[in-house]
Amino acid sequence: MADSFLIRARWIVPVEPEHALLEDHAVAVSDGRIEALLPAAEAARRFPGRPTVELAEHVLIPGLVNAHTHAAMALLRGIADDLPLMRWLQEYIWPAETRHASPQFVHDGTLLACAEMLRGGVTCFNDMYYFPEAALEAALAAGMRASLGMIVIEFPTAYASDPEDYLRKGLALRDRYAGHPLASFCLAPHAPYTVSDATFREVAKLCAELGVPVHVHVHETLEEVERSVLEHGVRPLERLRRLGLLGPELIAVHAVHLAPEEIELLARHGASVAHCPSSNLKLASGFAPVAQLAGAGVNVALGTDGAASNNRLDVFQEMRTCAMLAKAAAGDAEAMPAHAALRAATLAGAEALGLGERTGSIVPGKAADLTAVRLAGPELSPCHDPVSHLVYAAGREHVTHVWVEGRPRVLDGVLQGIDLMDLDSRCKLWQNRLASRPVSATRRTSEK
């Protein structure tokens, strides 16, 4: 595809300004950037002869942002289901990771996740896992935008020996890819129950120095909250506040069990929440107070969590589940309307990651990270409201085109640049390795 082209769509939802819905408009793309957003007739006059992608039955939206995942865990999809969080981790996931986590495991698992996410309209994901250099290599090979977690936990793994080693390796990776257009980074202390006060203080210091987001699981389960009170005398969020981690850089992942004063605390400090509704449901973690968070002004983004606890990296599903759960939990049918759910899946995620000036909405000057969804067929007809359809009726199977920085990653439903046959062969090898020894009920603390 040419470096400069037009995308003409029946509808465009730019996300900014709020509630905007444009009919018969076009996006002009040049050198990976959005050059203009304008009526189709005006685009034809202003850019005569420019190659045009005609999307007569489609809605064009910003590329979706998966604000929290463990991409390499796509290789662990279905390895252990229908279990509570800590048993799932301690008896199945952590032992499997102890035996198999390696740069090649992370590369192949992340590439598998990228293929799934791209076909589902996701152009950017926020990752937390071991060997982030292998994850980044896979993401760049797939042509995806990735925010890599500089993970830190207290104990040794195949990736690093201690908290200092984790941070040293993460920071070195960040330095190596400084300025790369598709790579960004977060500090990623795993969770309050796997990170010490001393390490959290060091993370807070680095956050202040570098200005990068801090991506941490927090208040995911009642057990986590009760354990924090027992061991530290305070709930996890209050502990993070005392350690200097509450601020606009904080991405509180899950944030299910929040008291009203904790919601206000997040809002007052400008923090974001990465809401993972399907994972919360599957692990029976609870119902996050999304309506209250949004009402307080907290930036609520959407994540899938890993494919081992979802089991899909499907942000369309998260939009629908988020909107419907918010209504049910709040007893309010007006909670999390469709436009708000779409914003949570796009611009809110970009803003949480510090990428709001670069992606997340269709605005001139931003990267041309774009997704086209075909709203046609019996299951999507008639279409009275394209945004309603995006959230409540359409699915990732209706995605036809995806661009990242103006480069086509999905064209007419066909993934570009990833050899699916080779990827399938790699996945079968990993399946055989994972099945070669039964997962034992080994107790250890590691990455989720």
**Exposed/middle/buried for residue 334 (C-beta within 10 Å: 0-12, 13-18, 19+):** exposed
Q: Is the pLDDT of residue 445 over 60?
A: no
Q: Is the pLDDT of residue 53 over 60?
A: yes
Token pair 């990242």 in the structure block, residue = 404
Q: What residues does each domain of the chain span?
A: 4-62+370-404, 64-352
CATH 2.30.40.10 corresponds to the domain 4-62+370-404: yes
Encode pLDDT of 161-202 as tens digits.
999 999 999 999 999 999 999 999 999 999 999 999 999 999
Look at strands 414-415 and 407-411 and give their pairing.
Answer: antiparallel
Q: Is the pLDDT of residue 14 over 90?
A: yes
Q: For residue 417, what are the CA distances in angstroms to 108, 140, 423?
A: 15, 11, 12
Encode pLDDT of 244-260 as tens digits.
999 999 999 999 999 99
- Provide CB contacts within 8 A for 49, sequence distance 6+: none
> Helix, strand, or coil here: 272?
strand
Q: What pLDDT is attached to residue 2?
A: 65
Cβ atoms of 85 and 221 within 8 Å: the answer is yes
Q: Is the pLDDT of residue 426 over 60?
A: yes
Please give, one letter per residue, the 3-state secondary structure of 63-132.
CEEEEEECHHHHHHCCCCCCCCHHHHHHHHHHHHHHHHCCHHHHHHHHHHHHHHHHHCCEEEEEECCCCH
Q: What pLDDT is attached to residue 88?
A: 86
Q: For residue 430, what are the CA distances in angstroms to 56, 136, 236, 311?
A: 42, 20, 36, 17
Mean pLDDT on 301-311: 96
- Which pair of tokens denotes residue 12? 């465009």
Q: Is the pLDDT of residue 94 over 60?
A: yes
CATH 3.30.870.10 corresponds to the domain 64-352: no
What global pTM score does this model have?
0.95
- Provide CB contacts within 8 A for 381, sequence distance 6+: none
> Helix, strand, or coil here: 344?
helix
The residue type at 260: P
Q: What pLDDT is attached to residue 98?
A: 86
DSSP 439: P
The three-point CA angle 261-325-307 to 5° equals 100
Encode pLDDT of 317-361 as tens digits.
999 999 999 999 999 999 999 999 999 999 999 999 999 999 999
Q: Is the pLDDT of residue 442 over 50?
A: no
